[in-house]
Structure 1
Amino acid sequence: MANRVETYLVPALFDALQEDRLVTIATIDKESGGPAIHAISWIRAFDEKTLRIAVDGRSRMVNNLKHNPAAAIHLLANESAYAISGTGTILTEKAAGVPVQTAIIEIHVSEIRDVMFYGSKIIIEPKHEKTYDEQAAKKLDDQVLEALKRGADS
């Protein structure tokens, strides 16, 4: 996808967003009006134009998106770096079936740009590890991923 602008998730990016992945999301900070960066791993491509993310329901991201729905996701995948721009909608601030207050946010994709600098590629994608009880982490992940599938029915 080098040097191209897309308006939907091409198959390689859609597939990359079907697994646990570290991404950063930029929103417009409600208080300062400046950029706010958030790191998350609960993100899935719902379809070629829609991403769903889950965050703590008390996250600044939730308040920022209520004030200004603009969002941009930075994704490292497919040997490159992508900026996925779109509009965020809060589907719920308390997903059913999740023991912690979890907001489900839908991002409608408007543009995807390959933003990797010329003449290089990503050779190792970042990895992350849950640092709390492994079984509890898996159970919570499963509950959140199920809530992402349900979306507004959460």
Structure 2
Amino acid sequence: MPNKINPILTAELWTLLQKEQYVTLCTIDNETYGPYVSAISWLYAPDETTILFAVDNRSRIIKNIKENPLVSFTLIANESTYSINGSASIAMEKIEGVPLKLALINVKVNEVRDVMFYGARMSVEPAYEKVYDLEAAAKLDLAVMEAMKRSLV
């Protein structure tokens, strides 16, 4: 049975991407031209066709996107695994109002696939916890999410 393919985020996935969410991001390495996978969590989907994310502006992710804009997110949710493919661009080299030097990346969603293998479901979704000052982490997370939302105005 083929997996369903959508050109936009489903309502369920869009809802998940209204807050910080653990995903892996795959870009094409600008030196080796092989896959480059990173775990990120500062994402926000303003609509069903767009995903914004923030990363350190010195990250290899930025160099990779400048060389090749194709990206793929892997998201584990709703008892399944999803591949969200799109084309990325650097929206801001430095997000204002955030204490870190973060870049804002805009991804135009091209395809959303349920890639869970047949006859299985995810019984537990990934979970993570911050291991540094929890108050500082919460303050930073809020500042980054608010800055991403402000960037749309």
TM bin, normalised by shorter chain, reads: over 0.9
Map of 1:114 onto structure 2: 114
Contact 1:54 / 1:102 at 8 angstroms: preserved in 2? Answer: yes
The ranges of structure 1 where at least 4 consecutive aligned residues each deviate by more than 4 angstroms after the TM superposition are none
Map of 1:92 onto structure 2: 92
Map of 1:64 onto structure 2: 64
Identity value in percent: 47
Contact 1:92 / 1:152 at 8 angstroms: preserved in 2? Answer: no
Map of 1:28 onto structure 2: 28
Once residues 27 and 152 of structure 1 are traced to their aligned partners in structure 2, the CA distance between those partners, rounded to angstroms, is 24
**Structure 2 letter corresponding to 1:104:** L
The number of residue pairs the alignment matches comes to 152
Which range moves more in the overlay, 144-153 or 32-41?
A: 144-153
- The Cα offsets for residues 36-93 of structure 1, whole Å up to 9 and x where unpaired, read as 0010010111100000101111110011001110000000111100000000011112
Residue 17 in structure 1 maps to residue 17 in structure 2 = yes
**Structure 1 letter corresponding to 2:78:** N
Contact 1:104 / 1:147 at 8 angstroms: preserved in 2? Answer: no
**Secondary structure of the residue that 1:149 maps to in structure 2?**
helix
Q: CA deviation at 1:144?
A: 0.4
Give the root-mean-square deviation of aligned CA atoms: 1.2
Map of 1:101 onto structure 2: 101
Once residues 82 and 99 of structure 1 are traced to their aligned partners in structure 2, the CA distance between those partners, rounded to angstroms, is 32
Which range moves more in the overlay, 79-88 or 143-152?
A: 143-152
Once residues 10 and 63 of structure 1 are traced to their aligned partners in structure 2, the CA distance between those partners, rounded to angstroms, is 30
Give the TM-score, by structure 2 length.
0.95
Once residues 150 and 31 of structure 2 are traced to their aligned partners in structure 1, the CA distance between those partners, rounded to angstroms, is 31
Q: CA deviation at 1:152?
A: 6.4
Superposition pairs of residues 124-135 of structure 1, within 5 angstroms: 124-135=124-135
**Secondary structure of the residue that 2:112 maps to in structure 1?**
strand
Once residues 81 and 109 of structure 1 are traced to their aligned partners in structure 2, the CA distance between those partners, rounded to angstroms, is 17
